[in-house]
Amino acid sequence: MPQPVALVTGATAGVGLHTAIGLARAGFRVLIAGRDATRLEHARRTVSERAHSDSTESVPVETVLGDFASLAAVHGIADTVLTRHDRLDVLVNNAGQIMPRYETSADGFELTLAVNHLAPFLLTNLLIDRLRGSTPSRIINVASIAHRGARLDLATWTGPQGWTPLSAYGRSKLCNILFTRALARRLADTDIVAACLHPGVISTKIGDSAGSIAGWGWRFIKPFLTNPEKGATTTLFLATTPDIERFRGAYVIGKRSAEPDRAARDDVLGEELWRESARLVGLT
């Protein structure tokens, strides 16, 4: 049996880093993607050393450099993976951020949405044939309970209308769930399972930049939140459980399927989101 290959985005810190460590310990050749070469190399050493401490064999860990704020860079990430590896067993779309002020991506889209939804949407589609050729395979999207109460207006979703740090983040997480469900419908007759999850409210730096008031509140409560290692538990469960089929298209909390907000179950909206996302990222 060839060694399984897993790609984890946003893997230089927090939940992504601990996801990579867990996958390496589980026997995967792990590819970690991030936008900063120095941080990537530090993460590579950390993953390799932490995984190697549980094994007598060296643990292969590779870095893939690319910034999710640029669709061209996402193409570069995909090209690197496809060039280096003839198989991909698990794709973990983990990268995410909250912006303290309205900014746009290199392609002119609201930055939170660009990084948290459009980039993983594009990356998944660019890698889908490699996943299809490596079945049984899995696509795991890290969503959030922050999707609850979010609304999605595809006429204004990539612009500044009504923008706040938390509303933009919630909207992007709603997109993650709608995307997962739409993807699962397209993969219904394959051995690729797509699922998404809420990792818990995790003590990472992601909330530090959620605007002045929200960011201050986040920093205040952060010491009382779940640590990133525990936050990776659900992702690792979905990546490794032999009983993955029952989570096809599911939104998972802990080790159980949960019901997301009503807007996240609007499959008509999900199809509209898919078509608009494909148009914006240049997919036919």
Residue 108 region by backbone torsions, left for phi larger than 0, else alpha for psi between -120 and 50, else beta:
left
Outline where DSSP puts E strands in 202-283.
251-253, 256-258
Outline where DSSP puts E strands in the chain.
5-9, 29-34, 61-65, 90-93, 137-142, 192-198, 251-253, 256-258
Residue 55 region by backbone torsions, left for phi larger than 0, else alpha for psi between -120 and 50, else beta:
beta
Report the alpha-carbon distance of residue 115 to residue 123 in Å, rounded.
11
Q: Which of 169, 218, 247, 251 is catalytic?
A: 169
Catalytic (active site) residue 169: yes
Sheet containing 192-198, strands listed edge to edge, beginning at the edge strand earlier in sequence: 61-65, 29-34, 5-9, 90-93, 137-142, 192-198, 251-253, 256-258
As given in the structure block, the two tokens for residue 27 are 């026997």
As given in the structure block, the two tokens for residue 77 are 């990430």
Tell the residue number behind the tokens 């399927």, with chain if given: 257
Q: Which residues are catalytic?
A: 169
